[in-house]
Amino acid sequence: MIKRLLIANRGEIARRIIRTCRANGIETVAVYSDADANLAHVREADMAVRLGPAPARESYLDISKVMAAAVSSGADAVHPGYGFLSENTAFAAACTEAGIIFVGPPAKAIELMGDKAAARKLMTESGVPVLPGCDQDIRDDNQLLEEAKQIGFPLLVKAVAGGGGKGMRVVHREADFIEALHSARREAKAAFGDDRVLLERYLSSARHIEVQVFADQHGQALHLFERDCSVQRRHQKIIEEAPAPGLTESQRIAVGEAAVQAAQAIDYVGAGTVEFLFADGHFYFMEMNTRLQVEHPVTEMITGEDLVWWQLCVASGNPLPKRQHELRIHGAAMEVRIYAEDPWQNFMPSSGLLNTLVWPHGNARVDSGYEQGDRVESFYDPMIAKIICHGEDRDAARQKLMQALSTTMIDGIHHNCGFLYQVLGSAAFANAELDTRLLERHAQLMEKPHLQPELVAVAAAAALTDTQPGGDPWQSLNGWRPFARQLQQYELMVDGNGVLVQINVDGHQCGAKVNGEQRTLHWHKDQKQVSLAWGSDTLKAQFIHQHNGVLLNVCADSISISDVDSRRGQQQHGSRHAPFAAPMSGTVVALHVAPGAAVSAGTAVVTMEAMKMEHTLRAPADGIISDLLASIGEQVSEGALLAQFEPGQAEQP
């Protein structure tokens, strides 16, 4: 059995692997970049080795540095996690050559299935249905455009070495193809070091169904049932569940057997996931991920198995812990990915210091890479944690997950908890009306819920006050007045606006005046939650006190309310909403026009990259780009002005 394991990854998945190793007496070695030196996975491992600077190419993606860490630490095995080098053929081969166990499939299997184009060809030859597409390695843009015309639009430009939604672009019109092609190639190069792409017919309405497979070194292979990962943004999963709702038993058996057959066709060993598109009762092969998946916890919860332990057993040469007939589905499980991003601003990546980070307790499993006080940097994927819940059926798991999100408190970065809560609570999701375009079909789910600022201010004041109707004044002298009258006043900053709140308690009667408007107030509060009715409006919020105010969780969205005095004198970021202000901290990767260029509305001007995702800033109207204020490769901060724009009808030469 493996004795000492080097984990060639970071954050959440590194901590997840450490937990299994610790439970089974296996020593662990963490690796880290300069940006991650203080993260929890570094502290929790038995040993830790520095790889290098923050950029992934100089640390986590540098095979020579990772191998040197494995050798110097005396590790007899390496677990790659997911992302980074997990599907890198050269890395798997380097481990084998060094006499170190690679916790994953043979390099040949990674090569076959990690190359999406080769995988498509292999599946076609094996009789597995695939969508129409172009698998050839064509470098000429015009030739690829001709292939695209033959396939027809809409189509998907897809990174050959891709995964996790990186290097993927849906193209609806021929006129948009070249720009999408270049963008996909740049993103693929940055994420995987390989800019090859393939083309594939895009199904506008399909479900994403994947099957967890396992195979050992003794010729045994099986599946641990399927997952539905249809709810996605930017082709990246955000909600996953198991089992997939709505499948007939015959469909479930068929897709499981097909996935096992695909694994056996390439002499697979270890954990893998075979992904399918499911439409009109038919499955189409998409790709095979030759690693552990981000969403593996939902499979663990419905089967009761530890998939990391299975990986370690198989890598050590042991047979699979169970046979197919011994596996059963127990209830349902659901997972959400917590991203450092602003879902209400087109999912812009976010970075910063986690001033407050409180995860749910009780019925939820939380796999997190960060703790309060850590800094989320822009160098890596924006996922900071996963929350997973299990229930006796799908709806029970969904309800538990919503409750878990409503008790999560995050401050210091933008995050998507409120958005996830909104999706989970929608009728479409609750009724399992799933496909990969769910968010497009239900555009209202992408809109930030409206909250009355005055009501939020009253909730914040109620959370801050130590007075309650009928309370003992001797236990709360702040604001106490004789004759059972108490008055507390707060000057709060809500969404950038100052709000004056006065709470007046007269015996068992209570009222709140907000900016001069008086209403009757009823509320109940404990140490974590306040429920109130201000006139006819009601609100329930979790809260936590901060040094300059209070943090509210309203429908899983975090709202930081501070005292106006603590905000006075702070510099305001006036340029943040300018059309060419950087929407997040990141790197400029492309300048599409020259200074002085006349542009029309929608013209691409500047493309930025952060957390392995690209964002293109486009002209909001016809006009002239009078100057470019950034250069390719430059790292800029959120709010930095990247271009000067003069709106109006551009003069033609």
The question of whether 328 is a catalytic residue gets the answer no
Cα 547 to chain centroid, rounded:
29
Asked whether 579 and 633 are in contact (CB, 8 A), the reply is no
What is the Cβ-side half-sphere exposure of residue 627, based on CA atoms within 13 angstroms? 4
Q: Kindly give the interhelix angle for 89-97 and 107-114, rounded to the nearest 10 degrees.
A: 180
Asked whether 17 and 91 are in contact (CB, 8 A), the reply is no
State the Rg of the chain over Cα: 27
Strands of the sheet with 623-628, listed across from one edge: 597-599, 623-628, 643-647
In eight-state DSSP terms, residue 597 is: E
- Given the residues 16, 227, 291, 398, the one annotated as active site: 291
Preceding amide of 80 cis, omega within 30: no
* Distance from C-alpha of 497 to C-alpha of 71, rounded to nearest angstrom: 57
Asked whether 595 and 601 are in contact (CB, 8 A), the reply is no
Which residues is 79 bridged to in the sheet? 7
Asked whether 364 and 271 are in contact (CB, 8 A), the reply is no
* Distance from C-alpha of 567 to C-alpha of 154, rounded to nearest angstrom: 49
* Distance from C-alpha of 33 to C-alpha of 56, rounded to nearest angstrom: 8
What is the Cβ-side half-sphere exposure of residue 60, based on CA atoms within 13 angstroms? 30
* Distance from C-alpha of 63 to C-alpha of 403, rounded to nearest angstrom: 42
In eight-state DSSP terms, residue 130 is: B
Range list of β-strands (E), 463-508: 480-481, 485-494, 497-506
Six-digit token string for 52: 């290098």
* Distance from C-alpha of 540 to C-alpha of 553, rounded to nearest angstrom: 9
In whole angstroms, how far apart are CA 435 and each of 206, 235, 653? 5, 12, 48
What is the Cβ-side half-sphere exposure of residue 451, based on CA atoms within 13 angstroms? 22
In whole angstroms, how far apart are CA 352 and each of 59, 375, 380, 458, 554? 21, 5, 13, 28, 22
Cα 341 to chain centroid, rounded:
8
Q: Rounded to the nearest 5°, which phi and psi values hold at 22? A: -60, -40
Residues acting as catalytic residues: 291
